[in-house]
Amino acid sequence: MFVGASPNLTSATALLLALAALADAAFTPANLSCLHLVLLLPAVACLATWARRKPLPDGGKEQDLPRLLGRRCAVATPLEESGKEARAKTAPGSSQGPASCQEDPFRWSFIPSTGTNRSHGVYEQETELCHLRMFVMGRPVHDQQRDADGDFPSAWHFEGRKRKWEVRMQLRFKQLPKGPLFLGLEYTTYQHLSAFVRRAEALIVASVSRIMGPVYKSPGDDPAEMGGAEAEPPCAAVPVYAFDQLIVSDVGAEPDITSSFEGLGWLRADGLAAYRKQVEATVGSPSFDKVYTLCTWSVSQMIDTINWTVGIPGGLRMDATRLAGAPPTIAVLYELADSEGSKHEAPQTETRHLISRKCYYARFAYWSAKRPPQADHLHKVLQIQDAPLEESVEKDADSRWASSRWLAGFSRILCCVSPRD
């Protein structure tokens, strides 16, 4: 026998060997393959049951392997802690909160990448155009119980609100924009859209236009048909007054980006016409001595960045990949060169939002660990060469989880011969 082996593993291995020997000794080669399969099925079921179980490090009760692989605790927080107690630990002005073991699947990264970022953390980037500070927060829409209990950072902010996420940016210009700014999305793969998806897209654009203002939407150019000319990526963009909140502060007097913004600045919800006028007057005449805090959340009820779906008016939801292509998706804040060229010379007749015409003040890619992008595609989008260790670990964990789920399904099919818990 095997010294130090688990009793379940030892007996399963012995069963495999015994069944294989019996099949070889008792049956002809013509029937051998079928008999091996029939006789090995119960043994595989035993191995599947063993593979799904793993002793806890402290010697406690056994748990399912998928749960161990799928949960990583950065900070130990009692799982039995009530939602009220958890919310009490998270106060406005702090990016730290109840660190649930089942962490938020949302991921994002600046482009070019400086690392994988998470929700509820403050991250900064310095470019030749601006100093940028960002804070992304969201509710765990993939876990209704945690959402209901308020067992997540920034629960104080989302309580009583319908929004699913909120993105906050603080900009201090180092180079002043000469033209209007746009808030937009760029899709990282080109694809031909079916008639159904085109119709759904038209409904979504119409809905977003009512919420955020006029939408520029392009299916993009097929790179295979461009003959070496620059292709416009599939994209969508709205004017800068599509942001839901604007706060203008003197340098050093800007609000804590993780705090409550109640009563600060201007809100689009207070009246679009007045808000648009204020934003265009303020951002249209920017200053080096001001910090501009911009927040967006209104389309969060439509765009589910964790489950990777898009809402269609009427209550339906569609897989986001059918509309936006393969993840990740890129979010951008940019100035577009006019016909005379505020940064790049462009033909007088050019109306496309080409990358060469864009002057990026913020550009970041986002994705969900529940629907992760292909590693090589992600690295290309993020402009990195080597796979980050974290992504490699997550990919390996996902692979092992998938294998254990397959074994678990196999064992349920053979439940009549599998040991029961």
Amino acid letter, 224: A
Instruction: Give the separation between CA 299 and CA 387, rounded to whole angstroms.
Output: 32
Report the pLDDT value the prediction gives residue 277, as an integer from 0 to 100. 93
Mean pLDDT in residue range 319-324: 91
What pLDDT does residue 52 have?
44
Q: Is 419 exposed, middle or buried (0-12, 13-18, 19+ CB in 10 A)?
A: exposed
Contact in structure between 164 and 300 (CB atoms under 8 Å): yes
Structure confidence by residue, pLDDT tens digits, 126-182 = 999 999 999 999 999 999 999 999 999 999 999 999 999 999 999 999 999 988 899
Mean pLDDT of 10-33: 41
CA 414 to chain centroid: 37
Lookup: tokens for 356: 């060469």
85: tokens are 């107690």
- Report CA 419 to chain centroid distance, whole Å: 39
- Mean pLDDT along residues 380-402: 56
Contact in structure between 401 and 66 (CB atoms under 8 Å): yes
Nearest-angstrom CA–CA distance, 107 and 381: 14
Burial (0-12, 13-18, 19+ Cβ within 10 Å), 329: buried
Q: Which pLDDT value is given to residue 350?
A: 85
The H or E element that residue 183 is part of is strand 181-187
Following CA atoms 44, 50, 53, 54 in sequence, which dihedral angle do they give, to the nearest 10 degrees? Answer: -130
pLDDT tens digit sequence for 78-111: 223 333 343 333 445 444 444 443 478 999 999 9
Query: Could you tell me what percent of the chain has a pLDDT over 90?
Result: 53
Tokens in use for 230? 């620059």
Q: Is the N-terminal amide bond of 112 cis, ω within 30° of 0?
A: yes
Question: What does the alpha-carbon distance between residue 369 and residue 393 come to, in Å, rounded to a whole number?
Answer: 12
Number of residues assigned to the chain: 421
From first CA to last CA, the distance across the chain in angstroms is: 25
* pLDDT on residue 209: 84
What is the residue extent of each domain of the chain?
7-66+404-417, 83-385
Residue 20 CA to residue 22 CA, distance in Å, equals 5
Residue 348 pLDDT: 56
Distance CA 362, CA 229 (A): 25
Q: Pick the more confident residue, 207 or 353.
A: 353
Cα four-point dihedral sign 13, 18, 20, 21: positive
Per the model's pLDDT, the better-predicted residue between 418 and 6 turns out to be 6
Task: Tell me what pLDDT residue 386 has.
Answer: 65
Q: Which element (helix H / strand E) includes 44?
A: helix 29-51
Are 95 and 120 in contact by the 8 Å Cβ rule? The answer is yes
pLDDT digits (tens, 9 = 90+) for 269-293: 999 999 999 999 999 899 999 999 9
Query: pLDDT per residue over 339-381, tens digit each?
Result: 444 444 545 578 899 999 999 999 999 999 999 999 999 999 9
Asked whether the predicted pLDDT for residue 189 surpasses 60, the reply is yes
Average pLDDT, the chain: 75
